[in-house]
Amino acid sequence: MAKTITLTAAHDGFTFTALHAEPEGPRKGGVIVIQEIFGLDQYVHQDVARWTARGFEVIAPSMFDRQEKGFTALHDPAGFENGVKHALANGPDNAMGDIQACVDFLKARGPVFVVGYCYGGTMTWLAASRCEGIAAGSSYYGGQVAGMAKFALKAPVIVHLGRKDPHIPADEVKAAVQAAHPEVPVYIYESSGHGFNNDGRPDSDLADAELARQRTVDFFAAHGAG
């Protein structure tokens, strides 16, 4: 079961909260789960549980604690508006500082991986470019990945996109990523839209979600997961 812990970002000394859960069975590595803009909601909790069941120690930082401690929001227009407001106010430097603190917390016990969704998908790509000590990342439907595609990467990344995503043109993102980084696997899931890792959401196809999860696990295994 996930518990709430506190970590401190070295770049500004800010103390933020995070979910932390120990692995079930033999430990395969550490995974940092980066939220959507809606905070540490039920879908983050479900994802943390999935990762622990696969043998990973998990940290899920509350990315907007500087704006609102323990922020969570519904997946509705008001929640979207507040999440976007917090994401813009937080900025990339604070996000990278918090992710680096999570890496530093986990790295003594084995390889550290990052997986993120929507906002977290963008932050995963950026972390693979800016943070130290990440073994590999898995970016799901990050809205700013295409614009960051040319960034040099310090860690390998896999990218997942939904064909039916009304917000992110999958083919354009894939073209941008592979033009800059032909080594990066980019998968488009034909039956899914935005947020398809969230089981039960309207745009979520369970077969697509399970395939993306297995591809991520295999990718992490290829980069050091036990």
Over residues 172-200, the mean pLDDT reads 97
So what's the pLDDT on residue 109? 97
Least trusted range by pLDDT, from 52-56, 81-85, 200-204 = 200-204
Tell how far CA 152 is from the center of its chain.
19
Q: How many CB atoms lie within 10 A of CB 223?
A: 17
Please report the beta strands in the chain, taking only residues with DSSP state E, as ranges in sequence order.
Answer: 3-8, 15-21, 29-34, 56-61, 112-117, 136-140, 157-162, 186-189
So what's the pLDDT on residue 149? 98
- pLDDT tens per residue across span 89-118: 999 999 999 999 999 999 999 999 999 999
So what's the pLDDT on residue 164? 96
So what's the pLDDT on residue 74? 95
pLDDT band at 69 (very low <50, low <70, confident <90, very high): very high
Over residues 188-197, the mean pLDDT reads 96
So what's the pLDDT on residue 202? 86
Pick the closest to residue 146 from 116, 176, 178, 179 (CA basis).
Answer: 176
Task: Give the Cα separation of 154 and 188 in Å (integer).
Answer: 24
Task: Give the Cα separation of 154 and 137 in Å (integer).
Answer: 10
Each residue of 148-170: b (16+ CB within 10 Å) or e?
Answer: bbeeebebbbbbbbbeebeebeb
Q: Which CATH number fits domain 16-222: 3.40.50.150, 3.10.580.10, 3.30.300.30, 3.40.50.1820?
A: 3.40.50.1820
Contact status, residue 122 vs residue 39, Cβ threshold 8 Å:
no
Over residues 180-197, the mean pLDDT reads 97
- Does the pLDDT of residue 203 top 90, yes or no? no
pLDDT band at 142 (very low <50, low <70, confident <90, very high): very high
No. of helices (H) and no. of strands (E), the chain = 5, 8
Q: Would you state the structure tokens that stand for residue 54, as one six-digit string? A: 């696969």
Q: What's the whole-number average pLDDT of the chain?
A: 97
- pLDDT tens per residue across span 1-29: 899 999 999 999 999 999 999 999 999 99
Q: What is the pTM of this model?
A: 0.97
